[in-house]
Every structure is written in C-alpha cells, then in structure tokens.
Amino acid sequence: MALLLAFAITLVIAVLISGIAEETVLSVAVLFLVCGFLLGRGVFGRIPTINPKLLQTIAEVALFSVLFTDGMRTGGLRNLAKEWALPSRALFIGMPLTIAGIAVLAHYMAHLQWTLAFLIGAALSPTDPVFVSAIFRFKAVSDKVKHLLNVESGLNDGLSLSVVIVLLAYAGLKGPGFYSLTGMPTGLAIGFGIPLAGLMLEKTRFFRAAGVFHPLNGFALGLLVLAVSYVTGANLFLAGFGAGISVATFGPSFSESFQEFGELVTELLKLAALLVFGVAIAPQFFKLLPAMEYGFIVLAVFVVRMLAIWLSMIGSGLTRRQTLLTGWFGPKGFASVVYGILIFRSGMYHAADLVAVAVTASIVVYSSTDVLLGKWFEKRARKATGKEPGPGGVPQTEGEE
C-alpha cells in the first residue's frame, strides 16, 4: 500500500508540473526515479519491501508496452522497407561497436573479466527513446532521424538479448524460459500472427469493432500477445514490437485510434516501473564506487555510442548535426533495467550495481536534455530559412554545412 500511495502522490505532482516539464529541463521521469530513491532510503518512514520478481515483471510489461507502441509508430512493414538503410547501419554496425567499446572499458577501468565485461556491454547497448520523447515533438528534428531512433530502439532490445543469453549460458547461468534464443523466432511469429488473425476476423461480415471498443482492439490484441508469450516462453520484447508493426500494417485505423490510449497506458507503466526501480536500487545506488568505475559509467553511457554512431553513419547522408543528435540520444532504459535485474538475480551483484548506476545516470541526463536540443534544432532551422520548419523536418540548407 505504501508503494501505491507513493505512486498516486507522485502522479498528482507529475500532472501539476507537466506543463513546466514540457518546456524546460525538468523531467517527469526523473521525478518518479528520485521519489523511488527517497522511498527506498527510508526518507518517508518504513522502506517498502520489493520482491525482485515483481520488479522484473513490472519492467518487462512496461518494456513490452513501450515496444508495442513503438512498433505502431513505424507505420508498418511498407514504411520500414522504405526507410531501412539507416536503422540497419545503427543495428548491425553501431550496436556491435557499442557493445565492444563498453566491454573494453569495463575490462580495463572496472577490472571485470571479459565475459562479464561483454555482458555489461550487451546490457547497456539497447536504447530507449521513451525517455527523450520530447524530441519527437519538434518539427525541426528530421523525420528520418525520428524514424531511425524509433526503429533502432525497437529492434536492438531483442538483438542485445541474444548476446545476454549467450553470455549468461557461457557463465553457467540462465533466466526464465522466454530469455532464450529459441524464444526469439517464436516471439516474432506470435507478435505478427495474433494481430493479423484478429484483424482479419474483424474485417469479415460477422464482426465489427465499434464505439469505445474500436481503440480497445489494439489493446486487446497486445494483451493477448503478451499473455501468449508468457505462456509459451516466447520472447516478450520481439513479440511486442512485432505486434505493433503488425497492427500498423494490417489495421492502420486501429493503430491511429489506439495511439492516445496506448500512450497513456505506456506512460503509466513506465512511471510505475521507474518508481519501483528507484526503491529497489536505492541501497546499492548510494554506495561509493571507485573513481575509475564512475569514469567507466560516464564513458560507457555518454561517449561510446557517440563514436559508434559516427562510424556507422559515415556515408549515410546524415548531416553532422543529425548524426550528433542520433549519437547523443541513446538513453539506457527498460531493456537495460530488465537485463540488470537478470544479472542481479544471477548473483553478479557488482556488475548489476554498475548497470543500475549507468541506467540512472542515463535517464537523468537524457530526459533532461531532450527539450534543450529540440529547441536548439528549431533555432538553427529558423536561422537557415527565416521561418518555422515544415513537417518534413530540418530544411535542406542545413546539410550544406
């Protein structure tokens, strides 16, 4: 009950300051994280007991919801096929470079064995644009950058999971059934197949979604995919992203009507996960780490991805500022939280602490700079054209730098 009360109070505060947060560096995500820290340190009295399994389940469901809505935002398979070049560079060049770069730093700066170093690299490699959602509101940020960040974040969770699974198995450890390589193709099949079957049924002359049930169709299909994935041991994250793409492809009207409702559900799950995560890691988070390990966290979170994206985007056609924006906004979010919990439950407590501190630093910094960078892009666009940027994003003159 203490957690419920804390969440309710924090949610009311978040609603009241949301207008200010939308225009400043103040972040609602950071508010819930900080409240979780304070609650976990006993500032408000008795410290709530957090069941690790509960924390993992909340984080998994929140991540599933994020990926489901992200999948819908891709616009479906046709849109993905047209705009695949940039995400493929980020996924198949940038991501391996990020994992390797973090692993090297973890080995030499945090003095971890190579297996554990690469495990941390894989845990911190996926990105989560939900913590920089404000950047997607600015028209001056080009559509191809938004598409790149969205598609990359949807697919890199599943790809990094495969590396995490292999390394856990190599270390003699394993997680739940859906954390398996065999669960990945099953997740994709369930994610695409269930929405397709449901949408095809709705189009027959016997069935029709109407009224308030029209936007609920997307929610119902997503919930069914989640439940079936848990029962069958399929990969939750690939299933969620695949389901979102499937709905956007075969039922665009349901995708559009679900958008507002889906974003509300996702936002609530995300904020609940952040509060519980803050409570759970508060005791470990405030332990003093060696200076070299803090240095590792700073470089791993804020530098490695910048270099990896810069290398992967050479010759891609992105301008310097677009490459900078793409490289900077690589926040570590729910996927990293879930993998960090998995590492913690496997008994590798120090590595889990490093992941927790890195994720926290990432959430705080990235979710506090998205508005600033978005406004900077708009200012640059106005200087280049003398008028407000159009819906297509940054004017072409920007690329002539």
Q: Is the pLDDT of residue 393 over 70?
A: no
Closest-CA residue to 341 (of 356, 359, 362) = 356
Give pLDDT tens digits for 234-263. 888 888 889 999 999 998 888 887 877 887
DSSP H helical segments within 233-328, as ranges?
Answer: 236-250, 252-285, 291-302, 304-312, 320-328
Q: Which domain holds residue 275?
A: 2-400
How confident is the model at residue 203, as a pLDDT? 82
Higher pLDDT among residues 24 and 5, named by residue: 5
Mean of all residue pLDDT scores within the chain: 81
Tokens describing residue 362: 């990432």
Q: Band of the pLDDT at 284, cuts 50, 70, 90?
A: low
Q: What is the DSSP letter of 90?
A: I
Give pLDDT tens digits for 86-128. 889 999 999 999 999 999 999 999 999 999 999 999 999 988 7
For the ranges 67-76, 190-199, 311-320, the lowest mean pLDDT is seen at: 67-76
CB 133 within 8 A of CB 370: yes
Tokens describing residue 259: 């958008």
Q: How many domains does the chain have?
A: 1
Q: CA angle, corner 350, sides to 346 and 353, nearest 5?
A: 95
How confident is the model at residue 130, as a pLDDT? 64
Give pLDDT tens digits for 146-189. 888 878 887 787 678 778 878 877 766 655 444 566 677 888 89
CB 272 within 8 A of CB 55: no
Q: Is the pLDDT of residue 395 over 50?
A: no
CATH number of 347's domain: 1.20.1530.20
pTM of the model: 0.77
